[in-house]
């Protein structure tokens, strides 16, 4: 089993999403042998998408022309990100919600995954995801309440975006959610307990 583990919180050891993603990885691996690749997207800080930073498999990467050494290093990093995702049987992502959406570092990583002919293709019936055999689990932490029936549901652009983008690649992601973390200590304690219970119920 190959497992890719990513974190995107800027809070380091104070991060709920990082704690939850680590718990999920522990739950999935247990005593079973697993090859785990860990990437801290805050530390790596992948640059915004340009023709030069697109993976070489993307048709638009040719628009960058000949790359210098620095440009080639960026291209190689993008190729590595795509290859790690494609090769993984399971992907666990720690996702904090910042300013109603995902961190820009995580968006930059996702931008390297949507490669026609590799993770999706266009057919007669429209786009078709090619990653349907992959398991993706999101450890999502948000300070307020954004679920169905709440006043802020229309402002939630993290979970909705991630379900859309992974669905585009043929994946139905699983969700471990901790919300209301900034709504007082009582709410935070309840959210953490509920999220940890959800981790314990994940199929290993």
- Residue-wise pLDDT tens digits, 50-96: 999 999 999 999 999 999 999 999 999 999 999 999 999 999 999 99
What global pTM score does this model have? Answer: 0.95
In this predicted structure, what is the pLDDT of residue 34? 75
Sheet holding 35-40, edge to edge: 35-40, 2-7, 90-96, 135-142, 174-179
Place of tokens 């390297």: 112
Q: Are strands 126-129 and 120-123 parallel, antiparallel or unpaired?
A: antiparallel
What Å distances lie between residue 100 and 9, 20, 144, CA to CA?
A: 14, 20, 10
């Amino acid at each position: 089993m190959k497992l890719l583990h990513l974190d995107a919180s800027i809070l380091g050891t104070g991060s709920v999403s990082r704690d939850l993603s680590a718990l999920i990885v522990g739950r999935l691996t247990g005593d079973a042998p697993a090859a785990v690749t860990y990437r801290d997207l805050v530390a790596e800080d992948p640059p915004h998408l340009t023709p030069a930073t697109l993976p070489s498999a993307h048709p638009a990467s040719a628009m960058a022309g000949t790359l210098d050494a620095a440009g080639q290093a960026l291209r190689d990093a993008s190729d590595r990100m795509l290859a790690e995702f494609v090769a993984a049987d399971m992907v666990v992502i720690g996702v904090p919600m910042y300013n109603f959406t995902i961190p820009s570092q995580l968006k930059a990583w996702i931008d390297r995954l949507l490669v026609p002919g590799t993770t999706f293709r266009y057919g007669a019936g429209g786009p078709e995801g090619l990653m349907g055999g992959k398991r993706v689990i999101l450890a999502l932490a948000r300070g307020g309440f954004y679920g169905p029936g709440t006043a802020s549901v229309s402002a939630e652009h993290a979970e909705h975006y991630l379900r859309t983008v992974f669905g585009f690649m043929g994946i139905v992601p699983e969700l471990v959610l901790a919300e209301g973390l900034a709504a007082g200590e009582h709410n935070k304690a309840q959210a953490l307990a509920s999220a940890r219970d959800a981790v314990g119920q994940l199929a290993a």
